[in-house]
Structure 1
């Protein structure tokens, strides 16, 4: 969900006046080299996919219904609502809540490819969520110009903690004498979450073979 607060250099605009640009947030999470925090014991995980295909693994991770762990990739697509250019002066990440993972939980991951295989192409805005306040680690220079032509900005929010983090993005903007802050804190009606370590671990190679050195007991195998 995106909300906004705003002010004018002259008179304050109506409270319900929309921001001059639209922002759509979408998960950009690779099926390969990804991990999910599932609220289930290893023995309760769904059966492994029968085919070694990206689609099969992606569907399997979706059925876990869990929280992405470690780093979260979000793509912001921004577009001006008019011919006027909107200037984005800053984007911040803020952690709203930190909570412990469920008592019964499993970190489930797929290990494949080489270093950097899960990196998006081009520049990305990066945040370290493990410090307070969350710290930008670079990747993008401000200000950014937003026009009628849609522009996509990858955002990477990284956490190495065991806790599950609920976080949001705050986007400062200015256009035609107006300025404000637009907040993105949901994806498809669900809060932005980055998960930590589950109580158990199940990690697999791309072929579906269990990685014994990274996994505990009870993980599903073929």
Structure 2
């Protein structure tokens, strides 16, 4: 099971993760009632309007969609000078096509990177809790990890205590795109969701602890804090921003957000820069905020494979 300290974010690496990383970038969260700085930006910047946050205070359970990622092709009105922002989308891949080689036109260039997001990642591949508003007799057995999103959606499950978000980012060409900062926005907080907490494992562990970004959602101004990992005693350096990606050099960021006192709705913002342009992409759960609820005080169950039934966790 996971510790009950406040929320924790993780950046797990795919392949290129163990490379030497750049200097530590700024990882700051904006307050929930304020937007990005409105200071004047260079003329090369453009702005796409961000979607309004989902601030619904209701603690009732709602479906958590299957893991994938949304397609974002943000375009911006001519003449604006703030940062580019991508709004929520409902498709499976965030991608924008690179600007053509033709002469510049009056329309702004597309975002030069693509990303995918999976919010149903389990700790070390086996450990996770979901809050479900059904008694044990009505809840099916735990799914295989790759089917977690479908299972959670069918049960209207909410992530219990923590949410692991895996973000895969790469450029659309050989030209480097610099990931400048990863920030957290909390869209709303409510009383923890009611129901039962169901463990997807019977206790698991391993020698690999991936590096990650840890986020405490109970803080008024949560910050994505880079944390190193460990592989069988060998330290894995923390992800340090700024960090460069391209089509040949992707990066995987693992964010672990935890709460012990709220039903929190939140999303991430990833700042980028490339060839004199800057922008921000919103990373969320298929067009809606991620959702993480505390489980303290809820009945907690594990699955007994011999009895083929959920049993109280002693």
With normalisation by structure 1, the TM-score equals 0.74
The CA deviation at 1:27 is 2.3
Structure 2 equivalent of residue 79 of structure 1: 170
Matched with 1:132 is 220
Q: Which moved more, 1:88-97 or 1:8-17?
A: 8-17
Aligned twin of 1:39: 133
Find the residue that maps to 1:83 and give its secondary structure: coil
Count of residues in Structure 1 that have an aligned counterpart in Structure 2: 202
**Per-residue deviation, 1:136:** 2.8
Q: Structure 1 stretches of 5 or more lacking a match? A: 215-222
Q: Does 1:21 align with 2:113?
A: yes
Q: Relative to structure 2, which stretch is displaced further, 16-25 or 90-99?
A: 16-25
CA deviation digits over 1:85-141, x for unaligned, max 9?
Answer: 111111012211112245x52222244234568x7x642222111111112332221
Match of 2:99 in 1: none
Higher strand fraction: Structure 1 or Structure 2?
Answer: 1
CA-based RMSD:
3.4
Which of 175, 189, 194 is the matching residue for 1:98?
A: 189
Alignment of 1:1-222 (within 5 A): 9-13=42-46, 15=76, 17=108, 18-30=110-122, 32-40=126-134, 42=135, 45-48=138-141, 54=144, 58=148, 63-102=154-193, 104-115=194-205, 122-139=210-227, 140-149=239-248, 150-161=250-261, 163-187=262-286, 189-197=287-295, 200-205=298-303, 207=305, 210=310, 212=312, 214=314
The alignment's TM-score, normalised by the length of structure 2, stands at 0.54
Quote the residue 1:217 is aligned against: none
For structure 2, list consecutive stretches of 5 or more residues without a partner in the other structure.
1-36, 47-74, 78-107, 228-238
The CA deviation at 1:191 is: 2.9
